[in-house]
Amino acid sequence: MVMTGEAITVGREQSKQRFLFVGNHSCLDFINTQMIVRGNLTDLLGGHADFVDWLVRAKILSQAQASAVSTEWSRKEREQLLEQGILFRKTLRDIAERIVARRPISASSIKSINQLTARRPGYTQLSYAEGRFERRFQPYAAQKDGLLAPLAEAAIDLLCTGDLSLVKKCGNTACILYFYDTTKNHARNWCSMRLCGNRMKVAAHYRKKQRKAKEKLPRRRN
């Protein structure tokens, strides 16, 4: 659950925080556009420009599509896109929380996913290149509100073909980032070593040292 009642920093400008792609899955990376920075819940999507930037970095939009959004869409349409995105991010967070808690996904989440994919009618195409087959979705003429369908499709992909036991929340209880554990032994605990892993390891090492120091103290005779 996203913590409420504390200061929410909005936008990357204020936080100087770059987008993170540590989730190994675009729908988890999308959830991770909300994170804790210096103890504050921070939303990296401070405006529609941030959102379009994220969609390009996540390879959901091409640079040309992003330019079209910036130049051809009205301000209201861009704001609606952001609104729709943020609403869907909430749905994805709920899904991830339930997966981790081994609880069933809600019917309203399934409905939200289907509503997004319904806005991008198209057909599946098969292609063959460099010795392998590839499935590609070919949308009919681009529809403005179908832009977020790939995120909904990523959620379908995760739920249908992913190993849900590998969807994990960072082991640092103060962190709200999620990831899909693709390590060989499935032993990944942290969103990233830089953000949480090293810090938690240093803390554990310090606790161990403290304990050892205490054990070494001469016992008091009664």
For Zn ion, the binding residues (CB under 5 A) are 170, 172, 175, 177, 191, 196
Give the shortest CB-190-to-Zn ion separation in angstroms. Answer: 5
Q: What angle do CA 192, 105, 149 make, to 5 degrees?
A: 75
Q: How far apart are CA 170 and CA 20, in angstroms?
A: 13
* Beta-ladder partners of 41: 8, 36
Q: DSSP letter for 18, please.
A: P
Place of tokens 């994170």: 35
Give the shortest CB-20-to-Zn ion separation in angstroms. Answer: 10
Return the number of the residue (60 or 177) whose C-beta is nearest Zn ion. Answer: 177
> Is there a contact between 136 and 125 (Cβ–Cβ < 8 Å)?
yes
Return the number of the residue (20 or 56) whose C-beta is nearest Zn ion. Answer: 20
Instruction: Extract the tokens encoding 22.
Output: 């540590």
Give the shortest CB-5-to-Zn ion separation in angstroms. Answer: 21
Collapse the DSSP code of 137 into the 3-class scheme (helix H, G, I; strand E, B; otherwise coil) and give the result: strand
Return the number of the residue (155 or 175) whose C-beta is nearest Zn ion. Answer: 175
Which residue type does 113 have?
I
Return the number of the residue (18 or 76) whose C-beta is nearest Zn ion. Answer: 18
Give the shortest CB-180-to-Zn ion separation in angstroms. Answer: 14
